[in-house]
Structure 1
Amino acid sequence: MNKELKVCTIGGGTAMPIINKGLIKAGFLNIKSIVTTFDSGGDTGRIRTDERGKVLAFSDYWRSLMSLWPDGNQKQIWEDMLRYRDGRGRNFGNTFFQFLSEKEGNLGEVDELFESLTGARLAGEVIPVSLKPANLFFTTISGKEYKGENFVDDLRMSKDVIDKMWLEPLVEANPKAKEILKNADLIIVAPGTTYGSVLPNFLPKGIIESFNKSKAKKIMFVNIFAMANEIKKATVLSYWEIFKKYLKTDKPFDMLVMADLEKLDKKMLKKILFYYGLENSSLVKMDKINGVKLLKVDLAKIEEANMRLRHSEEKLGEFFSKLEIG
């Protein structure tokens, strides 16, 4: 794939950084990474509560920013430091980026200050999807209503599937995020918690219009597993229908990419499937969707320490190097 393409990634959580690292391994050095800013769980939630909801969530921002810093000793030291938690569970990374955001006036201006402080040479930049704080609200098929992104994860084993999600207040999208979508050659929607890390990026006012009007090729990486509260039927087609609904278009993506698990160790895979089953999570099954290219590629790896399947940045690097999007 042409390394001069204007590449934009969209997402959050732990999966977005893996996509960014895969792109860097493939030689892309000017990645524009749009991230959600509505997280409300853990230490991020504590900060937002302490600040009366008047600050953005920093966690997805700084994790994506660190993923754009090519590997090296200096990066590792900073990564360890930013992940540090004290005895009360307070995360240094969130506190540090809260300080940088206040110093610069908004989170969207932090990249350059971070580079000057650390000596990092980032392979792109991170763009908050909105510069205004807001809360995620959602209802489930039983009619229950929840306030806060943290409940998406807290209820991940519930079969009371999420039915509708929105922002309050309905904030404007970051103008820079809209401009980047407009000018991109390739837009990659990362895997991740559908209602926690991915779809929230499409809720601010104006972002859907910019995404749909973009002439870029659009690729979505399908999750390996579906959480119980995300979807009734764990199929690619079910996810396709969700994104059609929220992005308000019949064809939100030109290509869907699934992880092929055939080359993984069968004995370990069986164990991992058992543990996911205990969480009511289901392996996403492949469908055919008319007019959409669907690739099934060896992209996954086994993390034995926590019995999880993840996308592999090394395999993603190989995939992006060979991908043709013309």
Structure 2
Amino acid sequence: MTTQMRDRLDEMRQAGRVGGLHAVAAVRGGRTLLEYYGTGEDFSWGDSLGVVEFGSETLHDIRSVTKSVTALLYGIALGEGLVPSPAEPLLRHFPKYPDLAADPQRARLTIEHALTMSLGLEWREDLPYNSPANAEIAMELAPDRFRYILERPILEPPGAQWNYCGGATALLGQLIADGTGQLLPQYGQAALFAPLGIERFEWITGADGVASAASGLRLTPRDLARIGELVLAEGAWEGQRIVPADWIRTMLQPRLKTAWGAQYGYHWYIESIAGHRLVAGMGNGGQRLFILPDLDLVVAVTAGNYDGPDQWRTPLAVLEHVILPELA
């Protein structure tokens, strides 16, 4: 662990530039550069946990970084021949809804449109996550979450534009569960977490007992970083193939532009920072999994700035002003 990084982080904290920061785990080439655990108020899916003293064994909501993990699980299941390929029609694999499949416009939807969040359906998550007007919350409250997603009004042709959509991830999670015959947390444990040596995790479920593929995962920051190391190694871990390498490459191929200009692959963001390619999973409150392939660097950040308009500032400040200066 480098003293310079620790000192810079202390300076940033004292200057109030990393408000709400809970933990950081930065790893380069298998070596820990920085591990920090703080204290602060935290929530689990909106339920207050009070003030928490974070440590290396403390599980933390990773919120929508869960989406990126779900994409990894899809790739593992695809490699095992258990889920359909991205090119296949989506509604073919939801046979409970023949009325929706009969709609020619909806029949055009493919699994890739879910992977790239380009379903073209009405879906608003730019509202507080405690509001039933937020589409993800409405999905959780709906009597049938999958019908709720698939019958949203059609706004544009599929594949035309990226639109943030937790419902797309919920569909992928169900395809994994259907194809593997296991609940998503069970498959996640067997196919990903156990092979990585991740012994403790939680996966929050909705009232219907369905695990949230979009935002329900709780991990320690060090284990979140371990998932980043797996991506960095193109799906291999300690000589074992966990995720097909071609899926990692396909998953991280830029396909659409996000609302703020980043590129989007299959449930992962692709940007650049300080001249370096940046691959990231991002979650509400400042949860981040940063991967910088050319620096062999992974940085996991957890924070408590849920629903805040400037929640992106803290994890970006950690990366830009604490970690990267020493690696320049």
Give the TM-score of the pair, scaled to structure 2.
0.31
Q: State the structure with bigger RCO (CA 8 A, min sep 6), 1 or 2.
A: 2
Please report the TM-score for the alignment, with normalisation by the length of structure 1: 0.31
